[in-house]
Structure 1
Amino acid sequence: MESPQSLSRTPVGVVVDGYSAGKFLPAAFRRLGAEVLHLQSTPEFLSTVAPPDLSPYLANVVHQDLERTAKELAEYAPVCVLPGQETGVMPADLIAERMGLPGNGSALSLARRDKYEMIETLRRAGIHCAHQLKSSDTQEIVAWAERETGYPVVVKPLSSASTDGVFICRDADDIRTAAAAVLGTYDIFERRNTEVVVQSCLQGTEYIVDVVRGPGGGRHVCGVWEYEKTDIGAKRIYDKDILLAPDSEPVAALVAYLDTVLEALEIRFGAAHAEIIMTPQGPALVEIGARLNGLMDPGFHDVCMDGNQADLLALACVRPDAYARRFTGKTMYRKRREALVYHGQTSLDGVVAAIDEQVLAEISALDTVHLAVPRATPGDRLRPTTDLLSSPLRVFMTADDRAQLTADHQRILALKDAVFRLA
């Protein structure tokens, strides 16, 4: 490990909880001649997700209290403190604020994490959003739905992700089933669900909008994707994310709406990943994360667009003047190729004995496939897909022609289950 003194001329970034897409930040910083320190926000790594690989980091600091952590990090003179995933958002806000570094402040940290507070903050700002209630009382939830919104409604945890614990409820029995499935359990970040959020079910097509805000608040849109989803019972399951051209409908309206959301939630520096539904009344936020898109693959985004969130975020931190010159005001990505991300679904149920490397190689060899990633490994229990967490295969696809993507996607549908050999 290098000493802080030996790094006095090397910019150092801090990543809090480098799970998920946070794993791409060390390489992004190093491409700019910078180093990265890892800050672990919990005494032990989370058991519900794969632990971060600490090998690219200078060191791993375990967060204890604000003053002690700030003092320990100050020895490295960091240029930024960034969340690597959702659990890192609030600690990153606090520590960056305490150390006088670029960030979003702590005043609205809870609204950037808690899905109820998030929507209430938008409502207070006069921004179009869902109607909602927070409660631990199933009967209160049923009464509210039948009095205020009618069915369907969405029931979900306060602070989970990847559609974990999200239910579409079409009657009172569905609400009771959903509440029973969530209340008293733990979300994927090991937070106990003592209450749930129930919201009016927004009707319309859902989109992803990814952005980076740099020094001075300049906003660059890193991509807009259209979700295609499948409804199976009370679950709405991801199928495909399709990249849109920046001049296509309804990109301009989505981005203009998101700009109001960013201001209301005081997301003024760093990355953000928003999910927005275009309703008949206009755009409405599903939720936003003040961090990188958890499904991003930098190489894939570089191929189909003109950059990726991780590299742009690193540039904003390490070379803020260069970022400000390149992204002045409000700027948009450039679409280079057609692209989609396929989230494999399965009806298989059993323990994975092996990955069929021949089948995986056949998928990977398709002209449009940039990357195929099995998300279940030998020894894992494969269950019928109900959310992103139980999707066993992710395939990043890009081509010059949409028809090529469609043809290869159909081939992947025929092969996907054969990737996994069950015991």
Structure 2
Amino acid sequence: MEATSAAPVVVVVDGYSNAGAFVGEFARLGVSALHVRGTAEFLPKMVPPDLSVYQDTFVCADADAVDALVERLGAYEPIAVIAGQEPGVPLADLLSERLGVATNGTARSAARRDKFTMIETVRAAGLHCAAQFVSPDPAEITGWARGHGRYPVVVKPRSSSSSDNVFVCRSEEQVAEAARAVLAGITMYDQRNTDVLVQSYLDGTEYIVDTVSANGHHTVCGVWRYDKNLLPSGRPVYDLDVLQDPDAPHVRELIAYVLRVLDALGIEHGPGHAEVIMTEAGPALVELGARLNGNMNTAHHDEFSGTNPARLNALAYTRPAEFAARYGGKVYAKRHEAVVHNVTTSREGLVTAIDDSVVDKIAALPTVREVVVRRPAGTRLVPTVDLMTSPLRVFHIGGSHAEILADHQVVGQLTDDVFRLAEPA
């Protein structure tokens, strides 16, 4: 058994995406981190986490390994267990409950991970949400859409993310085709889809609401509007996340709704990343992840609001009373206009090199704060169909939205020049 760590430690389960931000913010508070991988191998569709920032690492690939892992982690006396990405939510709930630290518990884990169960749980709490049906049979999915009687409908996997295999269908034929595509697919988290989820189409503008909680005290650290385009296939492609005025009436209505969703899903501790559509009948949940916003950039967030969700989470877990006093019931400040741009491409090929001079041109634009190249040399550039196939992510801050949009247009013109591709065989 390992010796107890000299410094307090937290456990991060499946620390993909920007979960490394947790580690840095906990380190600022004198807390080190352990990593737990919930699969035998790293997920092939995800960029592996940087394990060098963790004090120690563990693997828990099946239920039989949980007891031994709890014993090994218990020797470190961790103060928290946090999910770094969606697949880590159930294991983080289980480990935090077993280790006796702040926990959302296992009773509603499925409602925080499975989209069908999530929406039914929210509906049972009396909140507005989509009509839906789930089945492993494309014929039953098309039958439900036919009986629903209104198109479009949305067809998607039961448990994935990043707009993976999400289709907006306008006919029975499109529903059947989308259902077959979902069942033939592997989720972002390397799981085969065995069911198809079909939902009524929520007509309206989609928003992100990001929260942090400690002992049921919630703070809202960002509300963003999704600006997106629809491909001919019916798949949505996300373009811009646009920071909203926290005092705007529609933002206040979204916040009030999401706080009720947090209660319905049993989220009393840690991050929440909700996607909500503002319909004519009011807000309606698309889904909520008990993890950080994958587009969150700490420096970007610090500049427009003075703090960031990773820092707030570190405070919530290490000093919950201080978090409640300083941030409980509060909403973020908006010091500047802010946008996250998920850049699209129609090109395809093996990336042989990145043209750093073009990246530098983008980075030098007045509103650009950071450029993240998501298809480095040696990887394959593919036409953008979802968030995971976006080749660049650009973070903007400006004095006006028009100023940002001007630079956004230039980024779009320069993007394809960033990537040098191998000649076709």
TM range (shorter): over 0.9
Alignment of 1:182-261 (within 5 A): 182-214=182-214, 216-233=215-232, 234-261=234-261
Alignment of 1:15-26 (within 5 A): 15-26=12-23
Instruction: Give the 3-state SS of the residue equivalent to 2:366 in structure 1.
Output: coil
Structure 2 letter corresponding to 1:188: M
Q: Does 1:13 align with 2:13?
A: no
Q: Which residue of 1 aligns with 2:351?
A: 352
Identity %: 49
CA distance in 2: counterparts of 1:232 and 1:352, whole angstroms: 24
Alignment of 1:91-110 (within 5 A): 91-110=91-110
Q: Which residue of 1 aligns with 2:49?
A: 52
CA distance in 1: counterparts of 2:49 and 2:95, whole angstroms: 20
Contact 1:204 1:278 in 2 (8 A): yes
How far off is 1:294 after superposition?
1.2
How far off is 1:354 after superposition?
1.4
CA distance in 1: counterparts of 2:324 and 2:142, whole angstroms: 50
Cα-to-partner distance string for 1:363-422 (whole Å, 9 max, x where unaligned): 001121110111112232222211111111110000122232122112112111111112
Closer, same or farther: CA 70–315 of 1 in aligned 2, 3 Å? same
Contact 1:373 1:394 in 2 (8 A): yes
CA distance in 1: counterparts of 2:350 and 2:54, whole angstroms: 34
Contact 1:11 1:318 in 2 (8 A): no
Q: Which residue of 1 aligns with 2:150?
A: 150
CA distance in 2: counterparts of 1:116 and 1:351, whole angstroms: 37
Contact 2:141 2:196 in 1 (8 A): no
Contact 2:295 2:340 in 1 (8 A): no
Structure 1 letter corresponding to 2:281: Q
**What is the TM-score when the length of structure 1 is the normalising length?**
0.96
Instruction: Give the 3-state SS of the residue equivalent to 1:189 in structure 2.
Output: coil
Q: Which residue of 2 aligns with 1:405?
A: 404
Contact 2:21 2:310 in 1 (8 A): yes
Q: Does 1:177 align with 2:177?
A: yes
Q: Which residue of 2 aligns with 1:314?
A: 314
Q: Which residue of 2 aligns with 1:116?
A: 116
Contact 1:149 1:200 in 2 (8 A): no
4+ residue segments displaced more than 4 Å: none
Cα-to-partner distance string for 1:155-186 (whole Å, 9 max, x where unaligned): 10011110011011111111121112110431
Cα-to-partner distance string for 1:209-251 (whole Å, 9 max, x where unaligned): 000001x311000000001000112111101000011101310
CA distance in 1: counterparts of 2:157 and 2:3, whole angstroms: 41
Structure 2 letter corresponding to 1:24: A
Q: Which residue of 2 aligns with 1:390?
A: 389
- Give the unaligned 5+ runs of structure 2: none
Closer, same or farther: CA 307–149 of 1 in aligned 2, 3 Å? farther
Alignment of 1:253-332 (within 5 A): 253-328=253-328, 330-332=329-331
Cα-to-partner distance string for 1:319-339 (whole Å, 9 max, x where unaligned): 2222122123x1100011111
CA distance in 2: counterparts of 1:353 and 1:327, whole angstroms: 47
CA distance in 2: counterparts of 1:47 and 1:230, whole angstroms: 27
Q: Which residue of 2 aligns with 1:40?
A: 37
Structure 1 letter corresponding to 2:133: L
Q: Which residue of 1 aligns with 2:25?
A: 28
Contact 1:38 1:61 in 2 (8 A): yes
**What is the TM-score when the length of structure 2 is the normalising length?**
0.96
Cα-to-partner distance string for 1:125-165 (whole Å, 9 max, x where unaligned): 22100000001111111111111242111110011110011
Aligned to 1:62, which of 26, 45, 59? 59
CA distance in 2: counterparts of 1:387 and 1:94, whole angstroms: 31
Q: Which moved more, 1:252-261 or 1:181-190?
A: 181-190
Alpha-carbon RMSD across the aligned residues, in angstroms, is 1.2
Say how many residue pairs are matched. Answer: 417
Instruction: Give the 3-state SS of the residue equivalent to 1:211 in structure 2.
Output: strand
How far off is 1:66 after superposition?
2.4
How far off is 1:86 after superposition?
0.5
Structure 2 letter corresponding to 1:48: K
Q: Which moved more, 1:271-280 or 1:374-383?
A: 374-383
CA distance in 2: counterparts of 1:391 and 1:184, whole angstroms: 22
CA distance in 1: counterparts of 2:385 and 2:142, whole angstroms: 23
How far off is 1:45 after superposition?
1.5
How far off is 1:198 after superposition?
0.3
Structure 2 letter corresponding to 1:114: D
Alignment of 1:356-375 (within 5 A): 356-375=355-374
CA distance in 2: counterparts of 1:235 and 1:27, whole angstroms: 35
Q: Which residue of 2 aligns with 1:420?
A: 419
Structure 1 letter corresponding to 2:143: A
CA distance in 1: counterparts of 2:305 and 2:47, whole angstroms: 28
Structure 2 letter corresponding to 1:34: V
How far off is 1:23 after superposition?
1.4
